[in-house]
Amino acid sequence: MDPVLPVRWWVGGGFAAAPAAGSPVRIVGVRGMPDRATARRTIRVALLAALAEASGQPASAIQLCGAPGEAPYALLGDGRRSALSISHDGDLSVAALRLDGGPVGIDLMQITDIPDWQAVARDYLGPARAATLDDIPTFARAWSEREARLKCRGLALAEWNASDESLLSACICLPLALADGYVGSVAMLPGRFS
């Protein structure tokens, strides 16, 4: 069974836990924000704090970059570029950062009733993967994994295409430790993650 990656929750202007030792990827999260705009602002504050902590640089020397529809990244004061990925659903927001230069993708999904989940699975996850899904929680996990892989590879969400499978399956995808009712995944390329 794959290890489950912990999320460091940003609470009251600080993190509730220490970072995971030795991992090139850090996962931060916020919860209970009153609206999406507040969640977006707050997850970026948490990202800056995590980047400052991981890089040893002041947050004022770090710039968060990326236009809507483009993968976000951070420019550190020493010239390094850090890959970032952000996801929001329900009252949770999570973000992943990598200081080692490798790409990263993260996705979060609240488990809710989706009446046509089987058809959505066939269209977006492919017929073979769809055939392995038993219920909405397994669909949500598979969807989260696919979205994280797409983000890691810099691809937009699109219907399943067999030609993309080798590119996406090259990603290592690990589950996130989240509250009941949510699933999440982070994806990275092998060789840069141990």
| Model confidence pLDDT, tens digit, residues 130-188 | 999 999 999 999 999 999 999 999 999 999 999 899 899 999 999 999 999 999 999 99
Total count of domains within the chain: 1
pLDDT at residue 2, rounded to an integer: 62
Indicate whether this model's pTM tops 0.85: yes
- φ/ψ (deg, to 5) at 175: -75, 155
- Is residue 3 one of the residues assigned to a domain? no
Residue 45 has pLDDT above 70, yes or no: yes
Q: Which domain holds residue 164?
A: 8-188
- Is residue 194 one of the residues assigned to a domain? no
Q: Is the dihedral of CA 64, 154, 81, 53 positive or negative?
A: positive
